[in-house]
Structure 1
Amino acid sequence: MISVLPVPRADRACADASATAWALAARAGDPEAAEHFVRALHGDVLRYVTHLSGDPQNAHDLTQDTFARAFGSLHRYEGRASARTWLLSIARRAVVDNLRRAAARPRIADAVDWRMAVERSRPCGLPGFEEGVALLDLLETLPEDRKEAFLLTQVVGLSYEEAAGFVGCPVGTVRSRVSRARASLDRLLLDSDAPSI
């Protein structure tokens, strides 16, 4: 079961600082710090990959993949961003790679027209894989502070107050960043839908 209870702002800021310190100590070779790092952020990564992938059955594998990737690149982590932010960006890439692998994998269908079977199995009105990847690509064009505010509030599900405590800025700044991120995404979507001349 995945907990969705929010962590109080002060506790989150303290936990963030601790997780970052543990990540830096683990980078230096401290195995106990590595264990604390995983325990501190495991729940956040699990919730995040469950939300992004929409697949609770695969969430634990994706979480494990995220930590494996993180430990593989821990030697490059310098602590400029919080360990949580760094780890969630790795988790996002793990989910995208998993979705791409799944899309490329052949599927067995006992129907004569397998394309029709695939189309019927998709829920109507929901964005597909291509739209999800396109949205992730659009998010990458945003400035880092706006992208972080948008992901924390719109994807991870933190309130504006929680996100402000997490980032360490006023609530109004988070609201402004999210609003500007939405406006940028809207503009980019309209530009991509405009016919080429």
Structure 2
Amino acid sequence: MTPALPVMSDETVTAIALAAARGDSDARERFVRALQLDVRRFVTYLARDAQAADDLTQDTFLRALASLHRFEGRSSARIWLLSIARRVVADSLRRTAVRPRIADVADWQGAAEYSQPTGLPGFDEGIAVMQLVGTLPADRREAFLLTQLLGLSYAEVASLTGCPVGTVRSRVSRARAFLTQCLADAAATPGSVGALVAA
């Protein structure tokens, strides 16, 4: 397992991207390494398909590196890259919607669940929370994940999604309220975490 890289500031990542745009090959590698985890997390939750995350991440970087020479630093490189990731996921969802999915086993969902580690502390609760996040409307889920998982500011998410900052705040607030209420309800009912996981 490779050690986690320290989180770089937006200014540093943008400076690296600008150097890469000028042809610095070392900067291109540092740009990918600095943002790879953010992109992978974002596409995983946006697409709601962990199996496709590596391909979506790779597609995002392929598109970004192909157009990096046009990056001028008017927004942070992180926001620029996540906007590309958003389009990659949207394109992938459109392609997937028009072709059927084929599984090698009759119960592919069960096989995927059995292959996951269990018995870890907080495992069931983590699954329950992510299932609840998955039930959020797409716009609230995206705003919640970008701010709470990737740590982007409301202004950055507004720039990325093309909506006002107040709308982003409202979406995150409603997502939090929904998740908090669901978890409070689950805590008040014995055995309900298991029920949430099974739902």
TM-score, reference length from structure 1: 0.55
Provide the residue aligned with 1:94 in structure 2: 88
CA distance in 2, matches of 1:41, 1:60: 14
Say whether the 8 Å CA contact 1:66–1:90 is kept in structure 2: yes
Say whether the 8 Å CA contact 1:19–1:37 is kept in structure 2: yes
CA distance in 1, matches of 2:165, 2:98: 38
The 5-angstrom pairing of residues 158-173 of structure 1 reads 158=148, 162-164=151-153
1:43-62 superposed Cα distances (whole Å, 9 cap, x missing partner): 00000000101111110110
Provide the residue aligned with 2:181 in structure 1: none
Provide the residue aligned with 1:18 in structure 2: 12
1:81–1:55: structure 2 CA closer, same or farther, 3 Å change rule?
A: same
Say whether the 8 Å CA contact 2:17–2:77 is kept in structure 1: yes
1:52-104 superposed Cα distances (whole Å, 9 cap, x missing partner): 01111110110000000001111221101100000000001001101111111
> Bigger relative contact order, structure 1 or 2, given CA contacts below 8 A and separation 6+?
1
1:52–1:31: structure 2 CA closer, same or farther, 3 Å change rule?
A: same
The 5-angstrom pairing of residues 5-154 of structure 1 reads 15-107=9-101, 153-154=143-144
CA distance in 2, matches of 1:16, 1:179: 21
CA distance in 1, matches of 2:78, 2:98: 30
1:80–1:181: structure 2 CA closer, same or farther, 3 Å change rule?
A: farther
Say whether the 8 Å CA contact 1:15–1:40 is kept in structure 2: no
Say whether the 8 Å CA contact 2:13–2:34 is kept in structure 1: yes
Cα deviation, residue 165, structure 1:
9.6
Q: How many aligned positions are there?
A: 134
1:101–1:22: structure 2 CA closer, same or farther, 3 Å change rule?
A: same
Matched, 1:155 2:145: yes
1:82–1:46: structure 2 CA closer, same or farther, 3 Å change rule?
A: same
Identity of aligned residues (%): 49
Say whether the 8 Å CA contact 2:39–2:85 is kept in structure 1: yes
Say whether the 8 Å CA contact 1:49–1:92 is kept in structure 2: yes
Partner letter of residue 23 of structure 1?
A
TM-score, reference length from structure 2: 0.55
